[in-house]
Structure 1
Amino acid sequence: MILDRYNPHRIIIYSRDEYKQSVMKAEYSKKYDMSKVRFFIGDVRDKDRLYRAFDHVDYVIHAAAMKQVPTCEYNPFEAIKTNIHGAQNVIDAAIDRGVKKVVALSTDKAVNPINLYGGTKLVSDKLFITANAYSKISKTKFSVVRYGNVAGSRGSIIPIFKNIIDNGGNELPITDMRMTRFWITLEQGVELVFKALAESEGGETYISKIPSFHISDLAEAMLPGCKIKEIGIREGEKLHEVMVTKDDCRSTYEFDKHYIIYPHFEWWDESRNDRSGGKLVEDGFEYSSANNSQWLSVEQIREQLKKI
């Protein structure tokens, strides 16, 4: 998504998915003045097209990625072209076109990655953070927002369970009974992105403070009394989501509703950290869905499901 500087209320949707754009057009036309929304068919791999799309643009939210773990494992070259080379193209186009701010969406899988998707997103995160060292003339600011799967998003566990239930199934598959995840809604993710757009100085990684849940509790919430079949953890899958590692804690600050990992480079004025209003987390701190202080009960999960 791109915000046009010559028309502060104009939004440009840039995507290679023609079908998704047609659906968005239909939905937006019910609520918004469509003269304020432009749709560009394009690919982050196509730098020339990005240069055209970024012309006279102030703000960019970079959400493009190959994100399905098995797909990336089977198509590694394509994952690298989209998630790494595409990120570099966005950075180059933003700097050369004088974009004010870029917020890139990250994932928990970029933290201590064990699969190719996580590896490419780790590289992408590093590119966007260190891009601030290259944008002193254009003054483009780059920051990152990190969260896991949005509750109910395509390819996540909730639609999988729902499909089984809708087809009359009474047994739900879980890869490992110990598995935990963070719960974040689409609205919470969007709120964090806009916070980064409004406040970032360039180089920060924003992480929401959100509750955890057990996948087994999700199954019970969606199908009370269901049978659970433990099918074994899949290749590249983690037991728990980690958003902040122990090695990152030395530059991680806690706020009321989020954490910020500040950069640790010579181009960053570290006195900004202490002036931010946040509190440096304790040494050894790790933000994981396994050791979270907030947990959703089965009933709370059931209530959350009504909202998606």
Structure 2
Amino acid sequence: MNLKDKSILITGGTGSLGKALTKHILTTYPDVRRLVIFSRDEQKQFQMGQEFSSKVYPQIRYFIGDVRDKERLVRAFSGVDYVIHAAAMKHVHIAEYNPDECIKTNVGGAQNVVDACLETKVERIVALSTDKACAPINLYGATKLTSDKLFVAANNIRGNNPIKFSVVRYGNVMGSNGSVIPFFMKMKKNGVLPITNPNMTRFNISLEGGVEMVMHALEHAWGGEIFIPKIPSYKITDVAEAIAPECKQEIIGIRPGEKIHEEMITSSDSFYTYDLGKYYTILPATHRWKLDAYKEHFGAKLVKNGFSYNSGENTEWETVDTLKELIKTHVIID
């Protein structure tokens, strides 16, 4: 991918994936013209500015703003070529308690990003989704599913604008802020790790894998795809064993809005789901390009009717030993 003289903006750019994307872009594409970190938390921007200083990286800019503020987004998107939309409220239990706030950010904010992109000269946008958007049972998942629909449908209202909207959907990002592995590592000093349900499973992807997938969508999307990685699952009890085998595992019960197993593709999605090799993609029911041309270009193969992809029935699994190695390699605890 050639990003020479391109301008990129990341909403929610101070989050775990935003920082990983920033490091990747600045390292891999040093001739990028501008990289804008857009977020609402000035303290996180200040801290990130210590790590990615504009003196060392003259391409970087820090832009305070909220995706709820469309006017601010339009201002921020001026002169931007590519947008990566990572801003969201993502904690399930907080969204359940503050539903209106979650809707304002995850749904209203998504629509604002779409509108701001259409009103400026943005060429491509990739929006981050979650496995919780697939057959959602909690508000967070429902808002992210709505967000996915907004970004996919935006390709239908762009008129003659050549912009391309796409989505990437994946599971738990290993070591990201608020995720289970950093939580367990901080809790192990107490001698007890809380387990919601011993049968619980989750998909697992590294920050590097998430970054790679975003960059793939940014380069290869034709518009309207939801990209899904082929990644392993883990059992929550194996994560606890890998981190602190000496700790007691205390069963505390499943929390509101949680699933035992997460899904990324339902059987209802199978009619529009294609195997691309490294990824699956759910194609939009209506699109502005030729399906046969898409299939030929990517070697895309339609999955079997009724195919589904969930963490409990996955064919690839992390073990206690592989989790130990991944944690050593990918997880940094402050």
Q: TM exceeds 0.5?
A: yes
2:224–2:287 CA contact under 8 A, matched in 1: no
Quote the Cα distance in structure 2 between the aligned partners of 1:211 and 1:8.
Answer: 33
- Given candidates 201, 217, 220, the residue that maps to 2:238 is 217
Q: SS at 1:247's partner residue?
A: helix
Q: Tell me which residue corresponds to 1:191.
A: 212
- Given candidates 134, 152, 155, the residue that maps to 2:178 is 155
The residue type paired with residue 197 of structure 1 is L
Alignment of 1:33-52 (within 5 A): 33-52=56-75
- Taking structure 2 as the reference length, the TM-score comes to 0.87
Q: Tell me which residue corresponds to 1:121.
A: 144
Shift of 1:15: 0.5
Q: Tell me which residue corresponds to 1:208.
A: 229
Alignment of 1:221-300 (within 5 A): 221-265=242-286, 267-275=288-296, 276-300=298-322
2:270–2:303 CA contact under 8 A, matched in 1: yes
The residue type paired with residue 53 of structure 1 is A
Quote the Cα distance in structure 1 between the aligned partners of 2:100 and 2:281.
Answer: 32
Quote the Cα distance in structure 1 between the aligned partners of 2:171 and 2:51.
Answer: 25
- Given candidates 53, 56, 62, the residue that maps to 1:29 is 53
Q: Tell me which residue corresponds to 1:173.
A: 194
Q: Tell me which residue corresponds to 2:38.
A: 14
Q: Tell me which residue corresponds to 1:142.
A: 165
Alignment of 1:70-85 (within 5 A): 70-85=93-108
Q: SS at 1:24's partner residue?
A: helix
Q: SS at 2:315's partner residue?
A: coil
Shift of 1:9: 2.7
The residue type paired with residue 76 of structure 1 is P
Q: SS at 1:172's partner residue?
A: strand
Q: SS at 2:159's partner residue?
A: coil
- Given candidates 4, 7, 10, the residue that maps to 1:4 is 7
- Given candidates 45, 62, 67, the residue that maps to 2:90 is 67
Shift of 1:29: 2.7
Shift of 1:71: 1.2
Shift of 1:4: 1.9
Quote the Cα distance in structure 2 between the aligned partners of 1:53 and 1:189.
Answer: 24
Residues 255-300 of structure 1: per-residue CA shift (max 9 Å, x gap): 3321111111154532244222122211211111111111011101
Residues 215-236 of structure 1: per-residue CA shift (max 9 Å, x gap): 0011111112432111111110
Residues 200-256 of structure 1: per-residue CA shift (max 9 Å, x gap): 011001111111110001111111243211111111001111111111111111133
2:39–2:63 CA contact under 8 A, matched in 1: yes
Shift of 1:38: 0.6
Q: Tell me which residue corresponds to 1:53.
A: 76
Alignment of 1:91-102 (within 5 A): 91-102=114-125
1:98–1:139 CA contact under 8 A, matched in 2: no
1:264–1:270 CA contact under 8 A, matched in 2: no
Shift of 1:73: 1.1
Structure 2: gaps spanning 5 or more residues: 1-5, 9-30
Structure 1: gaps spanning 5 or more residues: none
Quote the Cα distance in structure 2 between the aligned partners of 1:172 and 1:254.
Answer: 38
Q: SS at 1:35's partner residue?
A: coil
The residue type paired with residue 288 of structure 1 is N
Quote the Cα distance in structure 2 between the aligned partners of 1:200 and 1:148.
Answer: 20
Q: SS at 2:38's partner residue?
A: strand
Runs of 4+ that moved beyond 6 A: none
Shift of 1:105: 0.2
Q: Tell me which residue corresponds to 1:182.
A: 203
Moved more, 44-53 or 279-288: 279-288
2:137–2:257 CA contact under 8 A, matched in 1: yes
Shift of 1:195: 0.1
Quote the Cα distance in structure 1 between the aligned partners of 2:291 and 2:299.
Answer: 13
Quote the Cα distance in structure 1 between the aligned partners of 2:270 and 2:43.
Answer: 42
1:178–1:214 CA contact under 8 A, matched in 2: yes
